[in-house]
Protein backbone atom coordinates (compact mmCIF):
# COMPACT_ATOMS: atom_id res chain seq x y z
CA UNK A 1 0.00 0.00 0.00
CA UNK A 2 1.29 3.48 -0.83
CA UNK A 3 1.26 5.23 2.56
CA UNK A 4 2.23 8.56 0.96
CA UNK A 5 -1.30 8.93 -0.35
CA UNK A 6 -2.67 8.80 3.16
CA UNK A 7 -0.40 11.35 4.80
CA UNK A 8 -2.28 14.34 6.13
CA UNK A 9 -0.78 17.83 6.16
CA UNK A 10 0.71 18.92 9.47
CA UNK A 11 2.19 22.20 10.70
CA UNK A 12 5.15 22.59 13.04
CA UNK A 13 5.59 25.60 15.27
CA UNK A 14 8.99 26.10 16.92
CA UNK A 15 9.12 28.53 19.84
CA UNK A 16 12.34 30.48 20.43
CA UNK A 17 11.78 32.29 23.75
CA UNK A 18 14.66 34.79 23.67
CA UNK A 19 14.54 38.53 23.07
CA UNK A 20 17.18 41.21 23.31
CA UNK A 21 14.78 43.60 25.07
CA UNK A 22 11.17 43.32 26.17
CA UNK A 23 8.53 45.42 24.42
CA UNK A 24 6.16 47.09 26.87
CA UNK A 25 2.99 45.43 25.52
CA UNK A 26 4.41 41.92 25.16
CA UNK A 27 2.86 39.03 27.08
CA UNK A 28 4.40 36.27 24.95
CA UNK A 29 6.46 33.57 26.58
CA UNK A 30 9.77 35.27 26.01
CA UNK A 31 12.74 36.30 28.15
CA UNK A 32 15.66 38.69 28.16
CA UNK A 33 19.04 37.90 29.73
CA UNK A 34 18.87 34.12 29.17
CA UNK A 35 21.33 34.03 26.27
CA UNK A 36 23.52 31.58 28.21
CA UNK A 37 20.77 28.97 27.70
CA UNK A 38 20.59 29.23 23.91
CA UNK A 39 22.88 26.27 23.08
CA UNK A 40 21.30 23.91 25.63
CA UNK A 41 17.91 25.10 24.51
CA UNK A 42 18.69 24.32 20.85
CA UNK A 43 19.71 20.81 21.85
CA UNK A 44 16.47 20.41 23.79
CA UNK A 45 14.39 21.58 20.83
CA UNK A 46 16.23 19.01 18.66
CA UNK A 47 15.50 16.31 21.24
CA UNK A 48 11.83 17.23 21.34
CA UNK A 49 11.68 17.08 17.53
CA UNK A 50 13.26 13.63 17.69
CA UNK A 51 10.72 12.54 20.30
CA UNK A 52 7.84 13.58 18.04
CA UNK A 53 9.40 12.06 14.91
CA UNK A 54 6.43 11.12 12.67
CA UNK A 55 6.98 9.68 9.23
CA UNK A 56 3.82 7.76 8.44
CA UNK A 57 0.56 9.52 9.22
CA UNK A 58 1.49 13.15 8.53
CA UNK A 59 3.56 15.19 6.10
CA UNK A 60 4.83 18.63 7.18
CA UNK A 61 3.70 21.41 4.85
CA UNK A 62 4.39 24.42 7.06
CA UNK A 63 6.98 25.32 9.66
CA UNK A 64 6.75 28.53 11.65
CA UNK A 65 9.74 29.56 13.74
CA UNK A 66 8.38 32.16 16.12
CA UNK A 67 9.00 33.60 19.52
CA UNK A 68 10.48 35.56 21.01
CA UNK A 69 12.95 36.59 18.38
CA UNK A 70 14.32 33.69 16.30
CA UNK A 71 16.45 36.13 14.27
CA UNK A 72 18.29 36.98 17.50
CA UNK A 73 19.90 33.52 17.78
CA UNK A 74 22.81 32.30 15.64
CA UNK A 75 21.98 30.83 12.28
CA UNK A 76 23.92 27.66 13.26
CA UNK A 77 21.31 26.99 15.96
CA UNK A 78 18.47 27.55 13.51
CA UNK A 79 20.15 25.26 10.99
CA UNK A 80 20.45 22.45 13.55
CA UNK A 81 16.72 22.74 14.25
CA UNK A 82 15.74 22.67 10.57
CA UNK A 83 18.07 19.72 9.86
CA UNK A 84 16.52 17.84 12.76
CA UNK A 85 13.03 18.43 11.39
CA UNK A 86 14.14 17.22 7.95
CA UNK A 87 15.50 13.99 9.37
CA UNK A 88 12.48 13.23 11.57
CA UNK A 89 9.47 14.09 9.42
CA UNK A 90 8.25 13.68 5.88
CA UNK A 91 8.39 17.12 4.30
CA UNK A 92 6.14 18.41 1.55
CA UNK A 93 7.94 19.77 -1.54
CA UNK A 94 5.94 23.00 -1.38
CA UNK A 95 6.68 23.60 2.28
CA UNK A 96 6.34 27.11 3.69
CA UNK A 97 9.05 27.89 6.26
CA UNK A 98 8.42 31.17 8.03
CA UNK A 99 10.72 32.85 10.51
CA UNK A 100 9.89 35.84 12.70
CA UNK A 101 12.48 38.55 12.31
CA UNK A 102 13.28 41.70 14.25
CA UNK A 103 14.33 44.52 11.88
CA UNK A 104 17.36 45.25 14.06
CA UNK A 105 18.84 41.81 13.27
CA UNK A 106 18.69 42.12 9.47
CA UNK A 107 21.84 42.37 7.35
CA UNK A 108 22.52 41.13 3.81
CA UNK A 109 24.80 38.44 5.20
CA UNK A 110 22.20 37.11 7.63
CA UNK A 111 19.38 37.25 5.10
CA UNK A 112 21.41 35.07 2.73
CA UNK A 113 22.24 32.61 5.52
CA UNK A 114 18.56 32.36 6.53
CA UNK A 115 17.64 31.71 2.92
CA UNK A 116 20.35 29.07 2.59
CA UNK A 117 19.05 27.07 5.55
CA UNK A 118 15.61 26.88 3.95
CA UNK A 119 13.63 29.84 5.29
CA UNK A 120 11.32 30.98 2.47
CA UNK A 121 8.99 33.41 4.24
CA UNK A 122 9.86 36.24 6.62
CA UNK A 123 7.50 37.73 9.17
CA UNK A 124 8.94 41.04 10.29
CA UNK A 125 7.78 42.83 13.44
CA UNK A 126 7.62 46.44 12.30
CA UNK A 127 4.64 47.52 14.48
CA UNK A 128 4.87 51.20 13.45
CA UNK A 129 6.92 53.48 11.23
CA UNK A 130 6.90 56.38 13.67
CA UNK A 131 9.97 56.76 15.89
CA UNK A 132 8.11 58.23 18.89
CA UNK A 133 5.63 55.35 18.86
CA UNK A 134 8.41 52.76 18.50
CA UNK A 135 10.38 54.29 21.33
CA UNK A 136 7.54 54.41 23.83
CA UNK A 137 6.79 50.70 23.36
CA UNK A 138 10.52 49.90 23.68
CA UNK A 139 11.09 48.52 20.20
CA UNK A 140 14.78 48.15 19.36
CA UNK A 141 14.57 49.59 15.85
CA UNK A 142 13.79 52.94 14.27
CA UNK A 143 11.42 53.50 11.35
CA UNK A 144 14.36 53.90 8.95
CA UNK A 145 15.98 50.70 10.13
CA UNK A 146 12.68 48.87 9.61
CA UNK A 147 12.33 50.17 6.04
CA UNK A 148 15.94 49.25 5.21
CA UNK A 149 15.45 45.78 6.67
CA UNK A 150 12.42 45.09 4.52
CA UNK A 151 14.29 46.29 1.45
CA UNK A 152 17.17 43.92 2.25
CA UNK A 153 14.86 40.96 2.90
CA UNK A 154 13.01 41.56 -0.37
CA UNK A 155 16.28 40.93 -2.24
CA UNK A 156 16.40 37.38 -0.87
CA UNK A 157 12.77 36.42 -0.24
CA UNK A 158 9.69 36.57 -2.45
CA UNK A 159 7.38 36.36 0.51
CA UNK A 160 7.84 39.05 3.17
CA UNK A 161 5.14 39.73 5.73
CA UNK A 162 5.06 42.62 8.14
CA UNK A 163 3.27 42.99 11.48
CA UNK A 164 1.65 46.25 12.53
CA UNK A 165 -0.08 47.30 15.73
CA UNK A 166 -2.67 50.06 15.87
CA UNK A 167 -3.91 51.91 18.95
CA UNK A 168 -0.38 52.46 20.31
CA UNK A 169 0.51 55.13 22.89
CA UNK A 170 1.35 58.41 21.11
CA UNK A 171 -0.38 57.16 17.96
CA UNK A 172 -3.28 59.01 16.34
CA UNK A 173 -5.28 58.36 13.21
CA UNK A 174 -3.01 60.60 11.14
CA UNK A 175 0.25 58.99 12.29
CA UNK A 176 -1.23 55.51 11.77
CA UNK A 177 -2.32 56.37 8.23
CA UNK A 178 1.18 57.75 7.64
CA UNK A 179 2.63 54.36 8.72
CA UNK A 180 0.23 52.53 6.41
CA UNK A 181 1.17 54.74 3.46
CA UNK A 182 4.87 54.15 4.03
CA UNK A 183 4.19 50.41 4.26
CA UNK A 184 2.36 50.51 0.92
CA UNK A 185 5.47 52.02 -0.65
CA UNK A 186 7.64 49.15 0.64
CA UNK A 187 5.10 46.76 -0.91
CA UNK A 188 5.31 43.63 1.29
CA UNK A 189 3.40 40.57 0.10
CA UNK A 190 1.53 40.18 3.38
CA UNK A 191 0.43 42.46 6.22
CA UNK A 192 -0.92 41.55 9.67
CA UNK A 193 -2.43 44.46 11.58
CA UNK A 194 -3.58 43.87 15.14
CA UNK A 195 -5.26 46.18 17.59
CA UNK A 196 -3.10 46.83 20.68
CA UNK A 197 -4.18 44.71 23.64
CA UNK A 198 -3.24 45.86 27.13
CA UNK A 199 -2.53 42.52 28.78
CA UNK A 200 -2.28 41.90 32.51
CA UNK A 201 1.28 41.55 33.79
CA UNK A 202 2.83 43.69 31.05
CA UNK A 203 4.74 46.89 31.65
CA UNK A 204 2.20 48.66 29.42
CA UNK A 205 -0.60 47.61 31.77
CA UNK A 206 1.28 49.22 34.64
CA UNK A 207 1.87 52.39 32.62
CA UNK A 208 -1.80 52.63 31.67
CA UNK A 209 -2.86 52.01 35.28
CA UNK A 210 -0.57 54.83 36.48
CA UNK A 211 -1.80 57.12 33.68
CA UNK A 212 1.73 57.36 32.32
CA UNK A 213 0.56 56.52 28.81
CA UNK A 214 -2.75 56.68 26.98
CA UNK A 215 -3.79 54.07 24.44
CA UNK A 216 -6.46 54.46 21.76
CA UNK A 217 -10.11 54.17 22.74
CA UNK A 218 -12.22 51.43 21.15
CA UNK A 219 -13.76 54.01 18.81
CA UNK A 220 -10.38 55.26 17.58
CA UNK A 221 -9.18 51.67 17.17
CA UNK A 222 -12.27 50.90 15.10
CA UNK A 223 -11.50 53.94 12.91
CA UNK A 224 -7.94 52.71 12.49
CA UNK A 225 -9.19 49.28 11.47
CA UNK A 226 -11.50 50.84 8.89
CA UNK A 227 -8.59 52.88 7.50
CA UNK A 228 -6.53 49.68 7.28
CA UNK A 229 -9.33 47.96 5.36
CA UNK A 230 -9.78 50.85 2.92
CA UNK A 231 -6.14 51.69 2.27
CA UNK A 232 -5.04 48.09 1.85
CA UNK A 233 -7.99 47.22 -0.38
CA UNK A 234 -7.20 50.21 -2.60
CA UNK A 235 -3.69 48.84 -2.93
CA UNK A 236 -4.74 45.33 -3.96
CA UNK A 237 -4.37 43.54 -0.65
CA UNK A 238 -7.00 40.92 0.08
CA UNK A 239 -8.38 40.88 3.63
CA UNK A 240 -8.46 37.06 3.83
CA UNK A 241 -8.68 36.98 7.62
CA UNK A 242 -9.93 39.71 9.95
CA UNK A 243 -6.43 40.97 10.78
CA UNK A 244 -4.50 39.68 7.76
CA UNK A 245 -4.08 40.93 4.20
CA UNK A 246 -2.17 39.35 1.33
CA UNK A 247 -1.17 40.05 -2.26
CA UNK A 248 -1.05 37.54 -5.11
CA UNK A 249 -2.61 34.80 -2.97
CA UNK A 250 0.43 34.68 -0.66
CA UNK A 251 -1.55 34.07 2.51
CA UNK A 252 0.06 32.50 5.56
CA UNK A 253 -0.30 28.74 5.02
CA UNK A 254 0.73 28.10 8.60
CA UNK A 255 -1.74 30.49 10.22
CA UNK A 256 -4.49 29.10 8.00
CA UNK A 257 -4.07 25.84 9.92
CA UNK A 258 -4.98 27.61 13.16
CA UNK A 259 -8.03 29.21 11.60
CA UNK A 260 -9.19 26.05 9.82
CA UNK A 261 -8.72 23.81 12.85
CA UNK A 262 -6.08 21.69 11.12
CA UNK A 263 -3.40 19.79 13.07
CA UNK A 264 -0.09 21.26 14.16
CA UNK A 265 2.55 20.46 16.76
CA UNK A 266 4.09 23.22 18.86
CA UNK A 267 7.66 22.54 19.95
CA UNK A 268 9.47 24.52 22.65
CA UNK A 269 8.47 26.14 25.96
CA UNK A 270 4.90 27.40 26.03
CA UNK A 271 4.18 26.17 22.47
CA UNK A 272 0.61 25.07 21.74
CA UNK A 273 -0.47 22.03 19.72
CA UNK A 274 -3.68 20.76 18.20
CA UNK A 275 -3.26 17.11 17.37
CA UNK A 276 -5.57 14.09 17.28
CA UNK A 277 -8.38 16.33 18.60
CA UNK A 278 -6.37 17.32 21.66
CA UNK A 279 -5.08 20.74 22.61
CA UNK A 280 -2.02 21.00 24.78
CA UNK A 281 0.78 23.40 25.57
CA UNK A 282 4.29 22.78 26.84
CA UNK A 283 5.52 24.10 30.21
CA UNK A 284 6.56 27.71 29.84
CA UNK A 285 9.83 28.09 31.71
CA UNK A 286 12.86 27.54 29.40
CA UNK A 287 14.90 26.18 32.33
CA UNK A 288 12.22 23.65 33.32
CA UNK A 289 11.75 22.80 29.65
CA UNK A 290 15.43 21.95 29.25
CA UNK A 291 15.28 19.79 32.39
CA UNK A 292 12.09 17.99 31.31
CA UNK A 293 13.46 17.13 27.89
CA UNK A 294 16.21 15.13 29.56
CA UNK A 295 13.50 12.80 30.92
CA UNK A 296 11.77 12.21 27.60
CA UNK A 297 14.59 12.22 25.10
CA UNK A 298 15.47 8.53 25.16
CA UNK A 299 11.93 7.31 24.64
CA UNK A 300 11.18 5.88 21.25
CA UNK A 301 7.40 5.77 21.20
CA UNK A 302 5.90 5.28 17.74
CA UNK A 303 2.18 5.73 18.29
CA UNK A 304 1.09 9.40 18.34
CA UNK A 305 -1.62 8.94 20.99
CA UNK A 306 0.94 7.19 23.18
CA UNK A 307 3.43 10.02 22.73
CA UNK A 308 0.80 12.50 23.94
CA UNK A 309 -0.11 10.28 26.91
CA UNK A 310 3.56 9.90 27.81
CA UNK A 311 4.17 13.66 27.81
CA UNK A 312 1.03 14.27 29.84
CA UNK A 313 2.08 11.67 32.40
CA UNK A 314 5.53 13.23 32.66
CA UNK A 315 4.03 16.69 33.40
CA UNK A 316 5.42 18.14 30.21
CA UNK A 317 2.19 20.05 29.55
CA UNK A 318 0.85 23.16 31.19
CA UNK A 319 -2.52 22.91 29.44
CA UNK A 320 -4.19 19.75 28.20
CA UNK A 321 -7.72 19.32 26.96
CA UNK A 322 -9.52 16.77 24.86
CA UNK A 323 -11.82 18.20 22.27
CA UNK A 324 -15.40 17.02 22.35
CA UNK A 325 -17.74 17.88 19.50
CA UNK A 326 -19.21 20.78 21.52
CA UNK A 327 -15.96 22.72 21.93
CA UNK A 328 -14.73 21.70 18.48
CA UNK A 329 -17.93 23.13 16.99
CA UNK A 330 -17.53 26.38 18.90
CA UNK A 331 -13.92 26.78 17.80
CA UNK A 332 -14.75 25.89 14.21
CA UNK A 333 -17.44 28.57 14.08
CA UNK A 334 -15.43 31.26 15.83
CA UNK A 335 -12.35 30.69 13.69
CA UNK A 336 -14.30 30.37 10.41
CA UNK A 337 -15.95 33.69 11.13
CA UNK A 338 -12.52 35.35 11.12
CA UNK A 339 -11.88 34.18 7.56
CA UNK A 340 -12.98 36.13 4.50
CA UNK A 341 -14.73 33.04 3.13
CA UNK A 342 -16.72 32.68 6.37
CA UNK A 343 -18.49 29.57 7.70
CA UNK A 344 -18.73 26.72 5.20
CA UNK A 345 -22.21 25.32 5.79
CA UNK A 346 -21.47 22.03 3.99
CA UNK A 347 -18.24 21.49 5.93
CA UNK A 348 -20.14 22.24 9.16
CA UNK A 349 -22.69 19.54 8.34
CA UNK A 350 -19.99 17.03 7.45
CA UNK A 351 -18.01 17.63 10.63
CA UNK A 352 -20.87 17.80 13.12
CA UNK A 353 -23.83 16.07 11.38
CA UNK A 354 -26.02 19.06 12.24
CA UNK A 355 -27.74 21.72 10.20
CA UNK A 356 -26.29 25.19 10.77
CA UNK A 357 -29.51 27.01 9.85
CA UNK A 358 -31.61 24.95 12.24
CA UNK A 359 -29.22 25.61 15.08
CA UNK A 360 -28.38 29.28 14.66
CA UNK A 361 -30.38 31.11 12.00
CA UNK A 362 -32.96 32.47 14.44
CA UNK A 363 -30.29 33.84 16.76
CA UNK A 364 -28.44 35.50 13.88
CA UNK A 365 -31.39 37.09 12.05
CA UNK A 366 -30.77 40.53 13.39
CA UNK A 367 -27.16 40.52 12.11
CA UNK A 368 -28.37 39.83 8.57
CA UNK A 369 -30.88 42.66 8.86
CA UNK A 370 -28.19 45.07 10.05
CA UNK A 371 -25.69 44.24 7.31
CA UNK A 372 -23.27 42.53 9.70
CA UNK A 373 -23.61 39.01 8.26
CA UNK A 374 -24.29 37.89 4.71
CA UNK A 375 -24.81 34.61 2.86
CA UNK A 376 -22.61 33.92 -0.12
CA UNK A 377 -22.53 30.64 -2.11
CA UNK A 378 -23.01 28.31 0.84
CA UNK A 379 -20.91 30.39 3.25
CA UNK A 380 -22.01 32.74 6.03
CA UNK A 381 -19.55 35.58 6.34
CA UNK A 382 -19.07 38.89 8.06
CA UNK A 383 -19.59 41.95 5.89
CA UNK A 384 -16.90 44.65 5.80
CA UNK A 385 -18.80 46.48 8.56
CA UNK A 386 -19.42 43.16 10.34
CA UNK A 387 -15.70 42.54 10.86
CA UNK A 388 -15.87 45.01 13.74
CA UNK A 389 -18.52 42.81 15.41
CA UNK A 390 -16.83 39.42 15.06
CA UNK A 391 -16.70 38.73 18.81
CA UNK A 392 -20.31 39.76 19.36
CA UNK A 393 -21.53 37.48 16.55
CA UNK A 394 -19.33 34.61 17.78
CA UNK A 395 -20.92 34.85 21.25
CA UNK A 396 -24.15 33.54 19.71
CA UNK A 397 -22.48 30.18 19.18
CA UNK A 398 -21.86 29.68 22.90
CA UNK A 399 -24.59 27.42 24.31
In the complex, the smallest distance separating the C-beta of residue 225 from ligand SF4, rounded to whole angstroms, is 20
Q: How many CB atoms lie within 10 A of CB 307?
A: 20
In the complex, the smallest distance separating the C-beta of residue 323 from ligand SF4, rounded to whole angstroms, is 28
Minimum CB distance to ligand SF4 smaller for 150 or for 337: 150
Q: Is residue 22 at the binding interface for ligand SF4, with CB under 6 A as the rule?
A: yes
Interface characters, 234-273, with ligand SF4 (x: CB under 6 A): ----------------------------------------
Q: What are phi and psi of 19, to 5 degrees?
A: -135, 150
Q: Which of these ranges, 25-33, 77-85, 265-273, 387-395, lies near ligand SF4 under the rule CB under 6 A?
A: 25-33
Using CB under 6 A, which residues numbered 28 to 87 contact ligand SF4?
28, 30, 67-69
Minimum CB distance to ligand SF4 smaller for 28 or for 310: 28
CB 289, CB 37: distance < 8 Å: no
Beta pairing, strands 91-101 & 58-67: parallel
Strand partners, 15: 66
What is the distance in angstroms between the CA of the first residue and the CA of the last residue of the chain? 44
63 vs 146: CA distance, rounded Å: 24
Minimum CB distance to ligand SF4 smaller for 70 or for 263: 70
Minimum CB distance to ligand SF4 smaller for 129 or for 308: 129
Angstrom CA distances, 103 to 127, 137, 167, 355, stand at 10, 15, 21, 48
107 vs 229: CA distance, rounded Å: 32
Residues in the chain: 399
3-class state of residue 297 by DSSP: coil
Minimum CB distance to ligand SF4 smaller for 30 or for 207: 30
In the complex, the smallest distance separating the C-beta of residue 260 from ligand SF4, rounded to whole angstroms, is 25
In the complex, the smallest distance separating the C-beta of residue 141 from ligand SF4, rounded to whole angstroms, is 10
Interface characters, 307-346, with ligand SF4 (x: CB under 6 A): ----------------------------------------
Q: Which of these ranges, 18-26, 142-150, 256-264, 342-350, lies near ligand SF4 under the rule CB under 6 A?
A: 18-26
In the complex, the smallest distance separating the C-beta of residue 123 from ligand SF4, rounded to whole angstroms, is 11
Q: Which of these ranges, 22-30, 116-124, 205-213, 258-266, lies near ligand SF4 under the rule CB under 6 A?
A: 22-30
Q: Is residue 26 at the binding interface for ligand SF4, with CB under 6 A as the rule?
A: yes
Q: Which of these ranges, 15-23, 36-44, 191-199, 383-391, lies near ligand SF4 under the rule CB under 6 A?
A: 15-23
Q: Which of these ranges, 20-28, 53-61, 328-336, 379-387, lies near ligand SF4 under the rule CB under 6 A?
A: 20-28
| Contacting residues for 391 by C-beta, under 8 A, at least 6 apart | none
In the complex, the smallest distance separating the C-beta of residue 163 from ligand SF4, rounded to whole angstroms, is 9
Burial of residue 206, with CB atoms counted within 10 A of its CB: 0-12 exposed, 13-18 middle, 19 or more buried? middle
In the complex, the smallest distance separating the C-beta of residue 1 from ligand SF4, rounded to whole angstroms, is 45
In the complex, the smallest distance separating the C-beta of residue 36 from ligand SF4, rounded to whole angstroms, is 18
Of residues 10, 12, 16, 23, which one binds ligand SF4 by CB under 6 A? 23
Angstrom CA distances, 113 to 78, 156, 307, stand at 10, 10, 34
47 vs 37: CA distance, rounded Å: 15
Instruction: Give 302-325 as a 3 state SS string.
Output: CCHHHHHHHHHHCCCEEEEEECCH
Q: Is residue 286 at the binding interface for ligand SF4, with CB under 6 A as the rule?
A: no
- Structure letter (DSSP) for residue 223: H
Of residues 44, 102, 130, 207, which one binds ligand SF4 by CB under 6 A? 102
Interface characters, 108-127, with ligand SF4 (x: CB under 6 A): -----------------x--
Strand extents, DSSP E, 173-327: 190-195, 238-241, 244-246, 264-267, 272-275, 278-282, 317-322
3-class state of residue 104 by DSSP: helix
In the complex, the residues that contact ligand SF4 under the rule CB under 6 A are: 19, 22-23, 26, 28, 30, 67-69, 102, 125
Amino acid sequence: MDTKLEQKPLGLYIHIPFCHTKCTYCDFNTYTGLENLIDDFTESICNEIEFWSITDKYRINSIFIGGGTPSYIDVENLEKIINKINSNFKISKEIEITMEINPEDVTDKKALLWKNIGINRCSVGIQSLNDDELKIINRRHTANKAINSINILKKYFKNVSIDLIYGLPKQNLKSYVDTLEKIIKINPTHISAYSLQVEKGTYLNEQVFKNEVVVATDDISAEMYKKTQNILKKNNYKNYEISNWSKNGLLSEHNMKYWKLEPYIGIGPGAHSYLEKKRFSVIKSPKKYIQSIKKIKKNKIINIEEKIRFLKKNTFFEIYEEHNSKNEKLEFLMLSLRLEQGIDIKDFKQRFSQDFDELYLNKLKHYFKNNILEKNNGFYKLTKKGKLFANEVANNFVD
